[in-house]
């Protein structure tokens, strides 16, 4: 492991920016970033800083394990983890495999899961790879670039706040999602897990690179824009080369927790240049479809992020409230998702929408 290249050393103070950026990349999902940030800060204070590294430095036969939190975001804000569950899941996975993990990966760069890997990395002293398996957040476990590259999601270990731990072996990754979701519901709606164990060669092939650094950069951009009294929404738009597809006020939100997911849609009434227009956002944990005046503008897997118009703070699907003034941004997803294999996993038809994917390109 002497060839590992350190991207940066992450201290507790760095997590504010990372959590903010993770919520922006989370496209409305991934859970409340505040919860994950508190857990990660406490772990770093207790155990020391985390070494963020480039995946290229790992030997091809190294053992890499992604970690994350699973469940409905609406549950995560009320059922807080103890903080040790993610380490329990990792140790159970190591015991099952019969080998120690050499490095950790972020399952998804969104919301709470942009910071939960720092909990495991701080507690174990393991290096954390600067990257993830989505480049954003998606609601189901099989929706990863790891799976697209042939990595099995199992063996997987799930742990809850009561001390229960389940190890799964499944016939394919969709069965992993199905059985893990059932376990998570029985565990109270949220669980911490270690999954997709892979060798270093597969990690290099399948990781969406640089996403944790991007999270940190987005958080810093927003913080500095506020300090300079610049337009925070424009600062984020420019950083992502995104397009502002709508400005308005949340008029109504229909939200329900079904089968371990937060499903629903939001109705946003236009303001300023968009006065007289309406935006509809459909979500399953994450924002999946954006329609303006009945015309589809953006579909999954391309990215839809909602920001508070005044502060630029990311607005998650579970935090949307009547009357909040927001700006909707859209920008392209990681290139892997635009392939036929990627669209089979996360395209609009997978989620039940009678729509063909049309790649979004900012104006």
Mean pLDDT value across residues 65-72:
88
For residue range 81-136, list pLDDT tens digits in order. Answer: 666 899 999 999 999 999 999 999 999 988 889 999 999 999 999 999 999 999 99
What burial class does residue 294 get, using C-beta atoms within 10 Å of its C-beta: 0-12 exposed, 13-18 middle, 19+ buried? exposed
Please give the helix or strand (H or E) that residue 290 lies within, else none.
strand 286-292
Beta bridge partners of 103: 64
- What's the pLDDT score for residue 76? 56
Residue 245 reports pLDDT greater than 90: yes
The answer to whether 96 and 71 have CB atoms below 8 angstroms apart is: no
CB neighbour list of residue 137: distance below 8 Å, 6 or more residues apart = 25, 26, 27, 29, 30, 108, 109, 110, 111, 113, 285, 286
Residue whose pair of structure tokens reads 């409905």 in the numeric block: 72
pTM, rounded to two decimals: 0.93
Structure tokens at 179: 């059985």
**Rounded CA gap, 16 and 28, in Å?**
18
The answer to whether 114 and 131 have CB atoms below 8 angstroms apart is: no
What's the whole-number average pLDDT of the chain? 93
Report helix, strand or coil for 213: helix
User: Which of the residue ranges 18-27, 43-52, 120-129, 252-261 would you say has the lowest mean pLDDT?
Assistant: 252-261
**Rounded CA gap, 80 and 196, in Å?**
24
* 291 φ/ψ angles, rounded to the nearest 5 degrees: -120, 130
The answer to whether 103 and 62 have CB atoms below 8 angstroms apart is: yes
Residues of the chain with pLDDT > 70, as a percent, come to: 94
DSSP 153: -
For residue range 209-236, list pLDDT tens digits in order. Answer: 999 999 999 999 999 999 999 999 999 9
**Rounded CA gap, 271 and 246, in Å?**
8
Mean pLDDT value across residues 160-186:
95
Mean pLDDT value across residues 341-347:
96
The answer to whether 218 and 21 have CB atoms below 8 angstroms apart is: yes
Nearest to 97 by CA among 152, 159, 142, 160: 152
For residue range 290-325, list pLDDT tens digits in order. Answer: 999 999 999 999 999 999 999 999 998 888 999 999
Q: Which residue has the higher pLDDT, 189 or 67?
A: 67
**Rounded CA gap, 236 and 243, in Å?**
10
Beta bridge partners of 269: 249, 278
- What's the pLDDT score for residue 310? 96
The answer to whether 324 and 271 have CB atoms below 8 angstroms apart is: no
The Cα-based distances of 217 to 12, 15, 148, 213, 357 in angstroms read 16, 11, 27, 6, 29
Q: Which domains does the chain have, with CATH numbers?
A: 6-211 (3.40.1610.10), 231-346 (2.40.390.10)
Structure tokens at 261: 């997911």
For residue range 33-63, list pLDDT tens digits in order. Answer: 788 899 899 999 999 999 999 999 999 999 9
């Amino acid at each position: 492991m002497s060839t590992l290249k350190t991207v940066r050393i992450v201290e507790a103070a760095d997590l504010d920016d990372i959590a903010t950026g993770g919520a922006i990349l989370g496209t409305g999902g991934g859970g409340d970033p505040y919860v994950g940030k508190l857990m990660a800060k406490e772990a770093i204070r207790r155990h020391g800083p985390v070494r963020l590294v480039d995946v290229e430095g790992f030997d091809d036969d190294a053992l890499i394990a992604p970690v994350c939190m699973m469940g409905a975001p609406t549950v995560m804000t009320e059922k807080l983890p103890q903080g040790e569950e993610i380490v329990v899941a990792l140790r159970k996975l190591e015991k099952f495999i019969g080998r120690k993990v050499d490095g950790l990966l972020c399952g998804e760069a969104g919301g709470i899961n942009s910071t939960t890997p720092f909990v495991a990395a701080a507690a174990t002293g393991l290096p954390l790879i600067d990257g993830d398996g989505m480049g954003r957040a998606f609601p189901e476990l099989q929706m990863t670039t790891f799976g697209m590259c042939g990595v099995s999601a199992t063996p997987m270990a799930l742990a809850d706040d009561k001390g229960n731990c389940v190890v799964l072996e499944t016939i394919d990754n969709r069965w992993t999602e199905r059985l893990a979701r059932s376990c998570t519901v029985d565990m109270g709606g949220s669980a911490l897990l270690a999954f997709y164990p892979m060798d270093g060669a597969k990690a290099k092939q399948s990781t969406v690179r640089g996403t944790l650094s991007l999270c940190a950069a987005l958080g810093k951009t927003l913080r500095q824009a506020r300090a300079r009294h610049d337009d925070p929404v424009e600062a984020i738009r420019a950083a992502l080369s995104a397009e502002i597809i709508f400005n308005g006020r949340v008029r109504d939100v229909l939200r329900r927790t079904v089968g371990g997911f937060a499903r629903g849609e939001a109705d946003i009434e236009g303001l300023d240049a968009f006065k007289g227009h309406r935006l509809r956002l459909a979500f399953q944990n994450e924002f999946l479809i954006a329609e303006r005046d009945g015309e589809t503008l953006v579909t999954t897997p391309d990215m839809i992020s909602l920001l508070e118009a005044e502060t630029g703070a990311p607005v998650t699907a579970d935090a949307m409230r009547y009357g909040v003034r927001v700006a909707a941004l859209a920008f392209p997803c990681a290139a892997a998702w635009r392939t036929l294999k990627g669209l089979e996993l996360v395209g609009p038809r997978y989620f039940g929408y009678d729509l063909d994917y049309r790649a979004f390109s900012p104006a």
